[in-house]
Structure 1
Amino acid sequence: MPETRNDPAKLWAEYKSGMSYKQQIGLYDTVAINRNFYIGRQWEGVEANGLPTPSIPVLKLIVRHQIAAILSDNIKMIASPFSGTVFMDQSYLKYVTNVISSKFEQLFEFNFLSTLLREYVTNAEVDGDACLYSWFDPDIETGQWARGDIVTEIVENSRVVFGNPNDRRVQKQPWIMIARRMVLEDAKREAKQYDGDEESIVEDTDETNNYHQNLASGKCTVVMKFWREYYTEKVQDKIGNTQSVRKSRIMAEEFTAGTIIRKAYDTGLKLYPITWFSIDNIPNSYHGQAVITGLIDDQIAINKMLAMVELSLTTTAFPKVIYDGTRIAKWDNRVGGAIKVIGGGDVRNAAAIINPATIDSQIYQFINFFIDKVKEMLGATSAALGEAKAYNTSALVANQRASAIPHDVTRTALYQSIEDLGRIYMDLMRVNYGERYTMMRNESTGVSAPAMFDFSVLNRLPLSIKLDVGASSYWSEITTVQTLGDLLTNGKIELVDYLDRLPEGIIPQKQELIDKINEAVKAKQDAMLNGVAGGNTKMLPSGGGNNIPIPSIRGNSELQRAVLSGAKVS
């Protein structure tokens, strides 16, 4: 039991200690600067003194390219049982895993995870870290008697505090805090709901010094603390032996600077409901390094070169007129306007035009070289961006795929983070879902229909999560169907193999069709074997049975040859 439990002063001091660590590593300033450079405010705070302030958003191009290269639209989560669950009925295991996999798909749609993951990766690229927080909202209408569903949202890295700042592994933390800015009325309503002291909730300022948050009034900081509590439980095995097993559960409480909103309670969870993702990890710190942080100096150099070129162009790149002030009182730039020249003599000597200075072409070449080199070092090559001319489609695709290889490490880390999210979803299902209807796909008809399922089975059924990442942009369903069709036409695969590998939804009642084909093949095979065994010579051509073509049915060819040749079959 933590010493800070239900003590708002100690809890707030613990929270401030975590914020102090962030200030010491310069997280708040880094995030603010990175965000400004990403959205285009690259001259903010700079005294330009009348100089031009141009900028080319190279950083945004690179970040968006990396997001597109790392993230795929078709991400599918599939549940599969641990190998140690072989003692259970396999058909029931398959049914359960199909239900969980179907629920994953529904949650992905409900939480708009495709859009959410883009923001998730963007935060990691720009801020250094990204965080997803999931919880069960009991007020969500589900269209059935069972209410509530799982919600996932983005949390800024500046509002997440780890109990051990030297370890980035979420599930190894002694405790984790998540802070959010709430409207006073909402915070007081929540405190009243959980018998908290609503009168002690007062307005305060944002501890992260967020500019936009501090502009809004009538808010306070509400912190949710999670911690892992260990306990011992006696369990009995199949032969009657009793042993003590050390287990853990996730506890939580909610507080502000001066009061407890919700006292400590057991969430029922086994996992912290948080996923954490960093692009580049820093040893001995849970905060990572943002991609933009290392590129800001490059962006500043590009902006300075552009500013100097623009200044040179505006001051010396255009022709200048010089005139004799004793002969011309005032120069007139109007189109067709007359200019009065005093005195006689040649008027050509009264005024002249100075040709503009030329800028060395090497300056432009260096700027382009600098920009291209920065993009190239981060994988945003012309081929990867689709800017290269497609003289050879295969070569272009090969170049694009080769340029995406450096992102594989980051992509793997992202998929691991999504797997962690899947485990959290299962943990929340286990605790909160109970009995409810869920959409299940009928394998024989291909039609989805609601079916009742008791999610408490997850308490006694260990499942693993396998992340099935969908096809990238190079391989679509259309390409898959075309390739399978070519293989079938050329006789490289059988019809059953073709149907089995078609994407779902292409052919209705696909499984029923596969079953009928298999039954027809089996019936034909059985009829042939029964006819030979019963002495039906009409099935044998003159000259013996050795000339009968043997069907290429897997697993039965040797048996058929033995029967047709008259050999003794043991």
Structure 2
Amino acid sequence: MDNSELKNNEIPQAISSLSPVLINNRYEKGIDYKNSLNLYDIVKNNTNYYCDKQWENCNAPDLQKITLNIIKQVVSYSVSMLTTDNVGANIKMYRTDKDDNKAIPNIISSEILRIMENTQFKESLKDSTRDCAINGDSIIYSYWNPDIKIKGQLNEGDIDIELVKNTQVYFGNPTTKNVQKQPFIIISFRKLLEKVQQEASENGENPEAIKADTDINQYNSKYEPDNFVTELVYFTKINGEVWCAKCTKDAWVRKPWNLEYSLYPISYWSWSENPNSCHGISPVSGIIKNQDAINKLWSFHYHVVQNFAFPKIIYDRDVFGQQKYTSAIGKPIGVSGDPNKAIFNVFNGVQVKNEIIEFADKLAEKSKQMMGASDVALGNLKNPENTSAIIAVSNNSKQPLALQQKSYYNFVEDTFRIWLDIMSVDYGIREVKTIDENGNDTYGNYDFSRLKDINLKLNVEIGRAAWYDELAAIQTIDNLYHNQIITDKILYLESLPESANIPNKSEIIAHLQKEKAQLENKTVLYQQMAQFLDTLPPEQQAELKKLPPQQLEQTVMSMMQQAGQVPQQ
């Protein structure tokens, strides 16, 4: 619903009183709060350490600056542990008493999987997890992109996502990280001036009022061109509906309009809770001093080895005169006096003790253990011989990340709920694919606005399906089938997880179901034939049983038809 469709008296007072200046003032207060936490410097410093920039402020030109980056190793481990699980939407309804409701879970699940594929959501989750580990928080902003075209759909547009840093998001109440209870939320973007001016012009605003500015938090402005401007995207809730506005510090890009969403389109998660703050705590921040100590110990050790550990030649300069001593192979050396006299000597280097390196290694190992990345966690396991061992090691290695895993799953679930909210408003009527009772694909139109009334009854879950869990499931089903605990081929195929990747699985199941139906019909036919044979005289039964099986079947069927007993198939 655009503002042009609203009368002035229909616009809430809280919206009509908004202005770019008011939004910018709230943005600057958000910056002040982040500065009180030293957030911008923490994020920049943590990012530098992750990216191997660990000697930025060290003035030691003669020291070989060695970097052994345990931070990157542990962060990469954490990302891999949390994101190796495939995520998906298991949609369940609390009520399925209506026939048309039964198809809704399949429709929504298919749409969520399609959005995940189109937006490369799984890759974004990896980036989000890395950002969360380095910066303390991570945010995904979901929005309706009207420019996306989908083949076969009359209505254009689709859901899109953008990964946002915690330095870009400003909560109206920064003492809590509960997104949906915020009085307002601001997201700041640094964009090209001409792009923002074009956007303002398309929305009926004055593009000349938008001027280039500098990034007032000075986080990215060091290497930034002078033709950028800060665009503020402002969200607030009025009567349970989300309103949005876009502006610069003193001009509208788009005046407030009603998105009609019930949820803020922002999903947010933190690595570790920080009491009374919307921002979490990064594990990198607490390990930087350890990283500095490890780098210095190795650098000092290398300096000692380089300068004192190797043998040195000491010679008499008076004997050599103006000719310098050389160690070049085969080159003659001229001396003054008797060359048989000792004119030089070799002094062995100082023996460098290994205690320094042993301590550095212990410090590195202890630091990784404190961050939940021990040798076992990093995969240094001796001879894992079976699936159970692999699963046990994997489960044990995930224990230090149990809290983060829960937050990560909640984060993904929140994102899916936001997508459902956007679908109910912006999708309209779309062609969807469903699966009928026989496992066949069917197509039809569905009005997604109906989700407005039922989306609160949906139960969204995250499916955990790491490769070793899938392998264990496949092996379990195989064992049940080979041991004849499962004897039905159809049940066996239906029990296998999708990761088994059986080509034409639905067609195979349909063929087996057809064969099963034919076999059942034939069984009924044979029972009818046996009952008919029992009614014949013993002599005639004996003669018939001498016939070959196929001829016997044809003869008995012919006799049944002549007797007026048509076999039922």
Q: Common fold, TM-score beyond 0.5? A: yes
Aligned counterpart for 2:218 among listed residues 190, 209, 214: 209
Mark the CA change 1:365 to 1:392 in structure 2 (over 3 Å): closer, same or farther.
farther
Mark the CA change 1:396 to 1:95 in structure 2 (over 3 Å): closer, same or farther.
closer
Mark the CA change 1:515 to 1:460 in structure 2 (over 3 Å): closer, same or farther.
farther
Partner of 1:277: 269
User: What is the CA-CA distance between 1:2 and the residue it aligns to?
Assistant: 3.1
Partner of 1:566: none
Aligned counterpart for 1:150 among listed residues 159, 178, 187: 159
2:116 aligned with 1:104: no
Mark the CA change 1:439 to 1:3 in structure 2 (over 3 Å): closer, same or farther.
closer
Partner of 1:2: 14
What does 1:89-488 correspond to in 2, within 5 Å? 89=98, 91-143=99-151, 144-211=153-220, 214-230=223-239, 248-329=240-321, 330-344=324-338, 346-347=340-341, 349-390=342-383, 392-393=385-386, 394-395=388-389, 397-442=391-436, 444-447=438-441, 450-462=443-455, 463-476=457-470, 480-488=473-481
What SS is found at the alignment partner of 1:424?
Answer: helix
Structure 2 unaligned blocks of 5 or more:
1-12, 536-569
User: What is the CA-CA distance between 1:450 and the residue it aligns to?
Assistant: 4.5
Contact 1:103–1:439 under 8 Å retained in 2: no
Partner of 2:31: 19
Mark the CA change 1:72 to 1:469 in structure 2 (over 3 Å): closer, same or farther.
farther
2:61 aligned with 1:63: no
Partner of 2:497: 503
Q: Which amino acid aligns with 1:501?
A: S
Q: How many residues align?
A: 513
Partner of 1:235: none
Contact 2:413–2:462 under 8 Å retained in 1: no
User: What is the CA-CA distance between 1:481 and the residue it aligns to?
Assistant: 3.6
Question: How far apart are the structure 1 equivalents of 2:316 and 2:293?
Answer: 42
Deviations 1:129-166 (A, max 9, x none): 10000110111111132100000110111010000000
Contact 1:34–1:293 under 8 Å retained in 2: yes
Question: How far apart are the structure 1 equivalents of 2:310 and 2:449?
Answer: 79
What SS is found at the alignment partner of 1:77?
Answer: coil
Q: Which amino acid aligns with 2:452?
A: N
User: What is the CA-CA distance between 1:445 and the residue it aligns to?
Assistant: 4.3
Q: Which amino acid aligns with 1:289?
A: I
Tell me whether 501-510 or 317-326 shows the greater mean CA deviation: 501-510
User: What is the CA-CA distance between 1:333 and the residue it aligns to?
Assistant: 2.4
Aligned counterpart for 1:512 among listed residues 507, 510, 513: 510
Structure 1 unaligned blocks of 5 or more:
231-247, 539-570
Q: Which amino acid aligns with 1:158?
A: T
What does 1:519-558 correspond to in 2, within 5 Å? none
Partner of 2:543: none
Question: How far apart are the structure 2 equivalents of 1:13 and 1:256?
Answer: 11
Question: How far apart are the structure 1 equivalents of 2:14 and 2:485?
Answer: 65
User: What is the CA-CA distance between 1:121 and the residue it aligns to?
Assistant: 0.4
Question: How far apart are the structure 2 equivalents of 1:396 and 1:431?
Answer: 45
Q: Which amino acid aligns with 1:363?
A: I
What SS is found at the alignment partner of 2:460?
Answer: strand
What SS is found at the alignment partner of 2:468?
Answer: coil
Mark the CA change 1:214 to 1:332 in structure 2 (over 3 Å): closer, same or farther.
closer
What SS is found at the alignment partner of 1:102?
Answer: helix
Moved over 6 A (4+): 520-532, 534-538
Contact 2:283–2:371 under 8 Å retained in 1: no
Mark the CA change 1:514 to 1:75 in structure 2 (over 3 Å): closer, same or farther.
farther
Question: How far apart are the structure 2 equivalents of 1:34 and 1:520?
Answer: 68
Question: How far apart are the structure 2 equivalents of 1:65 and 1:135?
Answer: 31
What SS is found at the alignment partner of 2:129?
Answer: helix
What SS is found at the alignment partner of 2:282?
Answer: coil
What SS is found at the alignment partner of 2:88?
Answer: strand
What SS is found at the alignment partner of 1:116?
Answer: helix
Partner of 1:241: none
TM-score for the superposition, normalised by structure 2: 0.84
Q: Which amino acid aligns with 1:408?
A: A
Contact 1:129–1:287 under 8 Å retained in 2: yes
What SS is found at the alignment partner of 2:163?
Answer: strand
User: What is the CA-CA distance between 1:357 and the residue it aligns to?
Assistant: 0.8
Question: How far apart are the structure 2 equivalents of 1:285 and 1:153?
Answer: 24
User: What is the CA-CA distance between 1:432 and the residue it aligns to?
Assistant: 0.3
Question: How far apart are the structure 1 equivalents of 2:467 and 2:528?
Answer: 52
What SS is found at the alignment partner of 1:326?
Answer: helix
Contact 2:116–2:122 under 8 Å retained in 1: yes
Q: Which amino acid aligns with 1:409?
A: L
Contact 2:470–2:497 under 8 Å retained in 1: no
User: What is the CA-CA distance between 1:501 and the residue it aligns to?
Assistant: 0.7
Deviations 1:404-460 (A, max 9, x none): 22222211111111110011000000000001123434553454x643211111122
Q: Please tell me the root mean square deviation across aligned C-alpha atoms, in Å.
A: 2.7
Q: Which amino acid aligns with 1:268?
A: E
Question: How far apart are the structure 1 equivalents of 2:423 and 2:384?
Answer: 52
Partner of 1:233: none
Partner of 1:75: 87
Deviations 1:33-66 (A, max 9, x none): 0010001011112212321111011110100001
Contact 1:54–1:307 under 8 Å retained in 2: yes
What SS is found at the alignment partner of 2:383?
Answer: coil
Mark the CA change 1:292 to 1:521 in structure 2 (over 3 Å): closer, same or farther.
farther
Mark the CA change 1:269 to 1:396 in structure 2 (over 3 Å): closer, same or farther.
closer
Question: How far apart are the structure 1 equivalents of 2:16 and 2:357?
Answer: 62
Mark the CA change 1:119 to 1:176 in structure 2 (over 3 Å): closer, same or farther.
same
Question: How far apart are the structure 2 equivalents of 1:278 and 1:426?
Answer: 23
User: What is the CA-CA distance between 1:363 and the residue it aligns to?
Assistant: 1.8
Identity, % of aligned pairs? 28
User: What is the CA-CA distance between 1:391 and the residue it aligns to?
Assistant: 6.1
What SS is found at the alignment partner of 1:458?
Answer: helix
What SS is found at the alignment partner of 2:506?
Answer: coil
User: What is the CA-CA distance between 1:467 and the residue it aligns to?
Assistant: 2.0
User: What is the CA-CA distance between 1:270 and the residue it aligns to?
Assistant: 0.3
Deviations 1:262-307 (A, max 9, x none): 1111101000000001111101000011121111111101001011
